[in-house]
Amino acid sequence: MLLIEGRADPSAQADETLVLPFEARRRSRLRARLAGGEEVGCFFDPGTVLRHGDKLLGQDGRVVEVVAAPEPLLEVRAANAREQARAAYHLGNRHVAVQVGEAFLRLAPDHVLKEMLIGLGCEVHEVVAPFEPEAGAYGHSHQDVSTAGLEAARRRIHETRRP
């Protein structure tokens, strides 16, 4: 089993690929299989979220690239920017993990939220796609945030990530 406990240089060439759905990428302890079938064990600090394109370093020096797996999602589209912002507000108010696209929102399937969004006038469709929700203002960390950590968080919330 390949053990992974840290990140590799983002510019490093990947030797292996690890395809994971979002829920698995949120776990600090994970047992999975690389795309080639080899078993892998990942051990990260609590609160770590792996993102599409992240590079991980195996104990043997191999670099493993994280790929966001296609998974069932709800895709929300609104008639205009105001209605989309309104839908995003209501989802955020419920602390729902949401991927914000140019003209869509994506979230994990939930029949109650689907009905709420339809009630707000949105079109809601079931899709299968990689899920890369927003990291949140503080990267979903529940620990004390230092001044340097706040600056890093401010930079992160303005990054655009596309799977």
Does 154 map to a domain? no
Across the range 70-95, mean pLDDT stands at 97
Query: What is the pTM for the complete model shown?
Result: 0.78
- What are the tokens at 7? 């990140």
Query: What SS3 class is residue 157?
Result: helix
Question: Residue 161 CB: number of other CB atoms within 10 A?
Answer: 15
34 Cβ contact list (under 8 Å, min separation 6):
2, 16, 17, 18, 40, 64
Domain end among 68, 85, 108 = 68
Q: Is the pLDDT of residue 50 over 70?
A: yes
In whole numbers, what is the pLDDT of the chain averaged over residues?
88
What is the domain-level CATH number for residue 86?
3.30.70.790
Which residues in 8-69 belong to E strands, given as ranges? Answer: 16-20, 29-33, 39-43, 55-58, 63-68
pLDDT grade, residue 135 (50/70/90)?
A: confident
Domain end among 21, 37, 68 = 68
**Are 51 and 105 in a shared domain?**
no
Across the range 129-137, mean pLDDT stands at 89
Residues of the chain with pLDDT > 70, as a percent, come to 83
Measured between alpha carbons, how far is 53 from 55 in angstroms, rounded to an integer? 6
Q: What is the pLDDT of residue 121?
A: 97
Q: What is the pLDDT of residue 144?
A: 39
- What are the tokens at 1? 């089993």
**Are 84 and 117 in a shared domain?**
yes
pLDDT grade, residue 136 (50/70/90)?
A: confident
Give me the residue label for tokens 């989309």.
Answer: 84
* Domain boundaries, position 86: 70-130
Q: Is the pLDDT of residue 104 over 70?
A: yes
Does 148 map to a domain? no
pLDDT tens readout for residues 139-158: 544 333 344 454 555 555 55
Q: What is the pLDDT of residue 120?
A: 97
What distances in angstroms separate CA 74 from CA 40, 54, 81, 112, 115, one per listed residue?
Answer: 30, 24, 18, 12, 11
**Are 54 and 12 in a shared domain?**
yes
